[in-house]
Structure 1
Amino acid sequence: VQIIRLHPMDHRTVYFDYTKSIYNTPTSFRILSTPTDLCVFVSQSRGRMVFSDEIHEKMSAQRMGRGKKILVFCMLDGENMLRSVEEELYDVLVRNKRLS
Structure 2
Amino acid sequence: MGVIHVTDRSGQRHTLEALEGWRVMEIIRDWGLPLEGLCGGACECATCHVYVAEEWLSKLHPPSEEEEDQLDTVVTRPNSRLSCQIIWTPALDGLEVTLAPTGS
Verify same fold: TM over 0.5: no
Larger radius of gyration: 1
Tell me which protein shows more strand as a share of its residues.
1
Q: Which has the higher contact order (CA 8 A, sep 6+)?
A: 2
TM-score (norm 2): 0.30
TM-score (norm 1): 0.31
